[in-house]
Structure 1
Amino acid sequence: MSEPVDGLVVGEDGLARPVWASTDPLLRDYYDSEWGMPVQDEQGLFERLSLEAFQSGLSWATILRKRPAFRHAFADFDPETVAGFGDQDVARLLLDAAIIRNRAKILATIGNAQATLRLRAEGGLTELLWSFQPEQTPEPRTPDEVPSRSAESVAAAKELKSRGFSFVGPTTVFALMEAVGIVDTHLLGSHRRGTSGVWADRSI
């Protein structure tokens, strides 16, 4: 493995990745196969929105390691099922050491599921989130050039909050937009840059 150049590390496989995805096999696999690829189904977006909320204040590696447990605890993040969770479910989740036992985040996930169902009458969560896709995506050459929020994430966070969602600040929403392909913040030079197909017709 070579030394990082402009925030990228060339692995033994000859592929350039950012430092955060260059050592931990779990993070590397996530980066290579999932992060930044377009997610446009309601359940998939609800899961990632929920995980981003749970990640607040923690490392993403922690969330990934607990992801199977989260899926089990939250019925594979089926919005209809989670929206129906009651006090007994909250008590069960607070006793589940395999997930993040944070009452506020658990209640937010249930509330966000209910908000997701309400959105169906107006086009749904997918339509709302993807409506904030910018005209251009960032073109970071170094990690310092990767933004942590954008005008679109600020606007999306405001809209989500007005629809009853919580734990959806501009930074969390921008991280979600990165994760599901609404923006491409892969570093220029990374083997993953441009692979989502979302920006294939844009010059970068």
Structure 2
Amino acid sequence: MEQNGVQDYSKLFGTQVHDANTAFEFLMVAVFQPGMSWKVAASKLPVFKRLFANFDYHKIATFDEPEIESIESDAEMIQNDRKIQAVFQNAKAAVNLEPEFKDLADYFWSFKPADSEAIDRTALGTTVAKDMKKRGFTFVGPTTMGLLLTGIGILPRPHRD
């Protein structure tokens, strides 16, 4: 029986993530989330894990057309070819971050502000999204990147009153 992706994502959300593949997992949710709730995207984490080499972006970057077609035709996969293609493009872009950065997580952590409590989440999300787009990433908007930075613990979770 597959794990519940929503529970796994919720439990991990806001913890400091320094593992590159886990950072890519958060990036995948960010790619698939627009146009649906985060719960729908996160609920597919077990499917993503199965189809996308346990989030190993080095392996994903080497997938060829038969593997891509298999993923696109999987009945449990979110059927959005543009977002699926974005995963492959983002995997290649993540590999290309090296050797400038140790890995994808190191890249994200390079944006950690000195005072993360006073930071404007939207402004930082915009900065990260622009940098990522310059580096070949796609489906990385300011809002989802701000959320990703919170999800992997770079920015604090918003306070709830």
Q: Same fold (TM over 0.5)?
A: yes
The CA distance in 1 between the partners of 2:75 and 2:6, in whole Å, is 22
> What is the CA distance between 1:127 and its match in structure 2?
2.3
Structure 1 vs Structure 2 CA RMSD: 2.2
Match of 2:116 in 1: 137
> What is the CA deviation profile of residues 84-122 of structure 1, one whole-angstrom value per residue up to 9, with x for unaligned ones?
112112211121121212111111100111111111110
Query: Is residue 158 of structure 1 aligned with residue 130 of structure 2?
Result: yes
**Where does 1:34-49 land on structure 2 (aligned, <5 Å)?**
34-49=12-27
* CA shift in 2, pair 1:30/1:88, >3 Å: closer
Match of 1:73 in 2: 51
The CA distance in 1 between the partners of 2:77 and 2:117, in whole Å, is 33
> What is the CA distance between 1:185 and its match in structure 2?
2.0
Structure 1: stretches of 5+ with no match in the other structure: 1-24, 140-146, 190-204
Match of 1:53 in 2: 31
Residue type at the aligned position of 1:159? D
The CA distance in 2 between the partners of 1:45 and 1:101, in whole Å, is 23
Q: Is the 8 A contact 2:94 2:104 kept in 1?
A: yes
* CA shift in 2, pair 1:128/1:29, >3 Å: closer
Query: Is residue 168 of structure 1 aligned with residue 140 of structure 2?
Result: yes
Q: Is the 8 A contact 2:51 2:71 kept in 1?
A: yes
The CA distance in 1 between the partners of 2:93 and 2:70, in whole Å, is 22
Q: Is the 8 A contact 1:130 1:182 kept in 2?
A: yes
Q: Is the 8 A contact 1:54 1:105 kept in 2?
A: yes
User: Rg larger in 1 or in 2?
Assistant: 1
The CA distance in 2 between the partners of 1:188 and 1:135, in whole Å, is 23
Q: Is the 8 A contact 1:137 1:185 kept in 2?
A: no
TM-score (normalised: structure 1): 0.69
* CA shift in 2, pair 1:88/1:30, >3 Å: closer
Match of 1:5 in 2: none
Aligned-partner SS, 2:48? helix
* CA shift in 2, pair 1:135/1:43, >3 Å: same
The CA distance in 2 between the partners of 1:168 and 1:183, in whole Å, is 17
Match of 2:40 in 1: 62
Residue type at the aligned position of 1:177? L
Identity of aligned residues (%): 36
Residue type at the aligned position of 2:76? A
* CA shift in 2, pair 1:74/1:110, >3 Å: same
Aligned residues between the structures: 156
